[in-house]
Amino acid sequence: MNTNSNTYTVIYSTVLVVVVAAVLAFAAMSLKPRQDENIKIETISKVLMAATQSSSSVKVEEDTDVMALYAEKVSEAFYVDGYGKAAGEMNTGKDNVKDIVVATTGDLKKQNDIIKQIENGNTDLLASLRLPVYIFSIDGKDITVIPCYGAGLWGPIWGYIAVAEDGQTIEGAIFDHKSETPGLGAKIAEEPFYSQFPGKKFSDGDVKFSVVKGGANGDISGVDAISGATITSRALGSTINTWAKYYEPYFKSAAAAAQDEECCGCCEETEETANNEEE
């Protein structure tokens, strides 16, 4: 074959493209299990860091076996719909840490797409939401971790917020991003920013939480925005506020159930005391 002909050039280019595509496809398929495992470990690490942020005895360090620590400390992991009702469980890895199931950023993006449709008026989708809930036992307290996911200035931003038993008080938070500006919006992933969250509370109003200038000055439901990163700060505040709104039905029903359980305990104690006095 004439190597200088157009036919040879076309055939050679086609074969080369097919071979390279096949090699890349094989490499991607071969590496996918490991990539998925790394994503799961990263998610578990973030969830744990939020849950243990206010703890003095449990810390997530670089050498921490996060999967083992997660399986030890997690009490329950499940999904709720937009009405706060249970909608499926996640394996907590009590029997085998390799079986742990968590909602990765890809899963959060899918839920965020549904939330956008609901925000646009399609409330029929509330029942189809699958919002992750992680409950941990930390220092004798039940800590609930919920995620949030939205759009930043240049790409997705997300985070995990640890909430106390009252369903309002924030015990810890941690955030991350895909491509926010280094030194500006990227600071949402740094401790000086997310360390403002412990002790804050979600509001009962339409705006559950805000990230604004001066938000930490007396505002129990707000933290200071990052200087020079107004758009990212606003986007994160909007993301937290939106997701918190859809978790509110769950927190209210959980608080009511806890109160009923406490009342039942008091009634049983009173009845037992009365019986003892009669005897």
Q: Are 143 and 51 in contact (CB under 8 A)?
A: yes
Per-residue pLDDT at 271: 56
In whole angstroms, what is the distance from residue 257 CA to residue 210 CA? 28
Structure confidence at residue 99 (pLDDT): 95
Say how far apart CA 203 and CA 195 lie, in whole Å. 19
Please report the pLDDT score of residue 39 as a whole number: 92
Sorted by sequence, the CB contacts under 8 Å of residue 128 that are 6+ apart come out as 81, 82, 114
State whether the Cα torsion 162-166-257-149 is positive or negative: negative
Query: What is the per-residue pLDDT for 266?
Result: 56
Fill in the DSSP letter of residue 223.
Answer: E
Note down pLDDT in tens along the chain; length 279 residues: 666 777 777 787 888 888 888 877 777 677 666 777 889 999 999 999 999 998 988 989 888 999 999 999 999 999 999 999 999 999 999 999 999 999 999 999 999 999 999 999 999 999 999 999 999 999 999 999 999 999 999 999 999 999 999 999 999 999 999 999 999 999 999 999 999 999 999 998 888 999 998 888 888 999 999 999 999 999 999 999 999 999 999 999 998 887 777 666 555 555 555 555 555
Give me the phi and psi of 164, to 5 degrees please.
Answer: -75, 180
Q: Residues 6 or more apart from 277 whose CB is under 8 A from it?
A: none
Nearest to 142 by CA among 126, 127, 163: 163
List the structure tokens of 47: 């969830």
How is residue 145 written in tokens?
A: 């971790």
Residue tagged 């997690």 (tokens): 74
Q: How far apart are CA 110 and CA 18, in angstroms?
A: 33
Total-model pTM: 0.84
